Amino acid sequence: MSAPTRRYSLFEPNKIGELSPAAKFILYSFLAAWSLFVLFPIYWLLITSFKTPAAVNNGPFFLPWVDFQPSLHAWRDLFILDFEDTFRAYSNSIIIAVSSTALSVLVGSMAAYSLSRIEFAPNLITILYFVALLIGSCVAIGVYGADLWLTLAVAVALFFLLARAVGKLYTVRLKNGDILFWIISQRILAPIVVVVPIYMMFQSVRLLDTHIALILTYAVVNMPIVVWLMYDFFSSIPRDLEESAQIDGATMIMTFREIVLPLSRAGLSATTLLVMIFAWNEYLLALFISTSNAQTLPILVAAMNAGERGILWWTMSVAIIVMIIPVVVLAVVLQKYITKGLLVGAVKG
């Protein structure tokens, strides 16, 4: 008796766990169309960087040596004629983005870990008292011209002297959820609302147009993202592992460094990549706080849109291509750790 022959069908998979030929065709067609949609702007930038001004003004040409004759004049202008400005902006972006990302991830991860493991209960009246002292200090410095360091010293002394006495009057306390929501709400606030006070603050301490000003500002602005994302990763890690390590004599810092961070490598890598992208592409804060010494790449690219010769599309394309290279390299490097972290997290002990 001969074995029954299997009929070939476009809508039935050949093996268990595989897609049918029709489903594969639809899926790969969608992926190809989406890849073309995503990669076409990069291709447009690439071919524009090799065009002459006349070729750019004549219309949309897509194929070098067919529609237009490639030229390296834009690359020469950016890296030879304007090499000093380009190198300064590029190095500033690397220093500021890497430093601010490292600072925000370090502090934000520890804050997220503490919120996921320790129950805080700060007194509401003490917090309001601190905010009142902060507002009073800003008014004294900005309106009445009081000395910055003297005003801060007086505010800190008043806070420590009166906080305990005022705190006893009310017993309303906040919880971890309230603290986490307040931290996340800082990212909801538009940067344009606080950029002028930030400018005045750094002007008072003579830190305008410096790396430290941009690093601190970027770190504070992006820290809520770190706390928000890492809190979920830390909360998903079983506490039994940490309790076992603490029984063996490990401190909380050791547990955080040796156990928690390796298990949350996927979240840490993804968060670092996201914060790095935000810091690398930040424009508004850099526009107000920096002028020439700490100028970053987004400011350099925007400056090509306001020249006497009009918009330099060809040079701007070169600058944008060079600008996205570090982010792409970082994404490729961190992708390996994200994959490893997901595999580790999928294993149950």
What is the tens place of the pLDDT at every residue in 286-310? Answer: 989 988 888 898 988 888 776 666 6
What average pLDDT does range 17-24 have in this prediction? 76
Q: Above 90 in pLDDT, residue 20?
A: no
Q: What pLDDT digit, counting tens, does each position of 191-250 carry? A: 888 888 888 888 878 889 899 999 999 999 999 999 988 888 888 888 887 778 777 777
The whole-model pTM stands at 0.79
Cα dihedral sign, 55-60-64-68: negative
Cα dihedral sign, 272-275-281-286: negative
Question: Predicted confidence band at 344 (pLDDT cuts at 50, 70, 90)?
Answer: very low
Question: Counting runs of H as helices and runs of E as strands, what totals does the chain give?
Answer: 16, 0
Q: Residue 316: CA atoms inside 13 Å, Cβ hemisphere, count? A: 16
**pLDDT value of position 234:** 87
**pLDDT value of position 265:** 80
Q: Above 50 in pLDDT, residue 345?
A: no
Q: What pLDDT digit, counting tens, does each position of 310-325 carry? A: 678 888 888 888 888 8
Cα dihedral sign, 302-308-310-316: negative
**pLDDT value of position 8:** 56
Question: Predicted confidence band at 1 (pLDDT cuts at 50, 70, 90)?
Answer: very low
Q: Which residue has the higher pLDDT, 336 or 272?
A: 272
